[in-house]
Amino acid sequence: MPQKIVSLITARGGSKGVPGKNIIDVEGFPLIHYAIEVSKKSNVDEIWVTTDDKNIKEVSLKCGAQVIDRPSEFAQDDSPSEQALLHFAFNVDFDIMVFIQPTSPFILSSDINKGIEMLNEYDSVFSAYKEHWSARWTLSAEPTYDIYHRPMRQHVEEKYVENGAFYVISKENLLRYQLRYGGKIGVVEMPNDRSFQIDTPEDLDLVRKIMKIAGLEKEKK
């Protein structure tokens, strides 16, 4: 029997860094449009948005997604996304969930499809980019490494950094682990230049510039 695959886009209304960011205009479309559109082009069967905000709900419906109303207690500044994921799981029928954050507009359908395919081998999957070692300091200018034994970058193992774009997990494992990932975890590697997240006005300006340049390049072709 075929498995039912859904994408769930989390979009609460109380953003502080960029007010109204989930539906803010980004090159002619509300930001959430990009997450919905990439879902349409992927192998998911249904597209859902979980939100507590009536404007986000209206925009999401116009963009072609279904909406589940998120209880306000699961949409606070300190509410973990898992609360919204579990609320959805208890109210909607599905087998596999692709949890997408709309603040990452450069996801491709091929990224999502790869993550779905990887569930044949893994219990859950997340997207990330590779990071080379670099000297890091705290905001109080304290080194996070031994400055007397500074390593050569090429001698330090690369690490994966979650880019927060998307996660894939079965309903069974979501309920088992109560987390967006658990069990045997796989990684969908995305390039650094597609791993931007919009959390600040500066991030928003950068993403707009990248999209504008990409649009101009596309027109030239």
Domain ranges of the chain: 5-129+160-220
Distance (Å, whole) CA 68 – CA 84: 10
pLDDT of amino acid 219: 53
The count of other CB atoms within 10 Å of the CB of residue 4 is: 15
Residue bearing tokens 């087998």:
95
Helix (H, G, I), strand (E, B) or coil at 129: strand
The count of other CB atoms within 10 Å of the CB of residue 99 is: 25
Instruction: Kindly report the pTM of this predicted structure.
Output: 0.90
5-129+160-220: CATH class: alpha beta
Whether 218 and 27 have beta carbons less than 8 Å apart is answered as no
Q: Which residues are catalytic?
A: 150
Whether 47 and 32 have beta carbons less than 8 Å apart is answered as no
Q: How far is residue 126 CA from its own chain's centroid?
A: 9
**Tens of pLDDT along the chain (221 residues)?**
679 999 999 999 877 778 899 999 999 999 999 999 999 999 999 999 999 999 999 999 999 999 999 988 888 878 889 999 999 999 999 999 999 999 999 999 999 999 999 999 999 999 999 988 888 899 999 999 888 888 887 878 889 999 999 999 999 999 999 999 999 999 999 999 999 999 999 999 999 999 988 765 555 55
On the CB side of 133, CA atoms within 13 Å amount to 12
The DSSP string of 191-204 is: -GGG-----SHHHH
Helix (H, G, I), strand (E, B) or coil at 155: helix
Residue bearing tokens 């090159």:
27
Alpha carbon distances (Å) from 78 to 63, 190, 201? 28, 28, 21
